[in-house]
């Protein structure tokens, strides 16, 4: 049986009206020391954990365009559940390659819980930086500064559709 990934489109910084689905936000930091960031698009690939320790047949792919003026990316309309993030992909710009490939894939293994009408603020953030000409970093890093967390939460809470949403408490 063929299983296809579930795409949740591109991230935005706008939350939709609550519908019983969940949301997740990742902090972002993109530093362009040279022209533009080599990752035209970043994809975070997560798998829902289902009964008996098994995983869903199709991954959920959260895709965004890294921007230096964006502090976070927000994905909503995600089915509530327990998810394992298994990889992050850095997709090359049109007509370009990264080490001869259209995308580079980096393995990860951390979990996130998505609950109905709750925004999960991930403890991982995307960090992308051009370090030298033809060299760059693209990674999910652990740890979100309290100041960043407060700023992201305040921005999301100020949105007109936030009524009915809350933030998931970290334990």
Q: What is the pLDDT of residues 20-54, one digit of tens each?
A: 999 999 998 888 776 677 788 899 999 999 988 88
Domain assignment of residue 168, yes or no: no
Residue-wise burial string across 76-105, b where 16 or more C-beta atoms lie within 10 A, e elsewhere: bebeebebbbbbbbbbbeeeeebeeeeebe
Domain assignment of residue 46, yes or no: yes
Which of 89 and 145 is assigned the larger pLDDT? 89
Domain assignment of residue 171, yes or no: no
Domain carrying residue 140: 6-161
What residues form DSSP beta bridges with 138? 128
Count up the domains in the chain and report the number. 1
Cα–Cα distance, 2 to 170 (Å, whole number): 36
Read off the pTM.
0.86
Domain assignment of residue 117, yes or no: yes
């Amino acid at each position: 049986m063929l299983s296809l990934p579930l795409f949740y489109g591109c991230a935005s910084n706008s939350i939709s009206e609550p519908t019983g689905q969940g949301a997740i936000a990742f902090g972002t930091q993109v530093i362009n020391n040279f022209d533009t960031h080599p990752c035209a698009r970043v994809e975070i690939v997560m798998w829902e954990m289902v009964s008996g320790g098994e995983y869903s047949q199709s991954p959920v792919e959260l895709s965004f365009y890294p921007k230096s003026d964006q502090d976070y990316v927000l994905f909503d309309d995600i089915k509530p559940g327990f998810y394992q993030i298994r990889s992050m992909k850095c997709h090359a710009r049109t007509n370009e390659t990264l080490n001869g490939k259209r995308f580079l894939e980096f393995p990860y293994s951390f979990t996130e819980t998505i609950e109905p009408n709750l925004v999960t603020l991930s403890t991982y953030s995307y960090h992308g930086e051009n370090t030298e000409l033809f060299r760059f970093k693209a990674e999910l890093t652990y740890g979100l500064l309290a100041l960043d967390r407060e700023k992201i939460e305040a921005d999301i809470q100020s949105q007109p559709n936030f009524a009915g949403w809350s933030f998931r408490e970290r334990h």
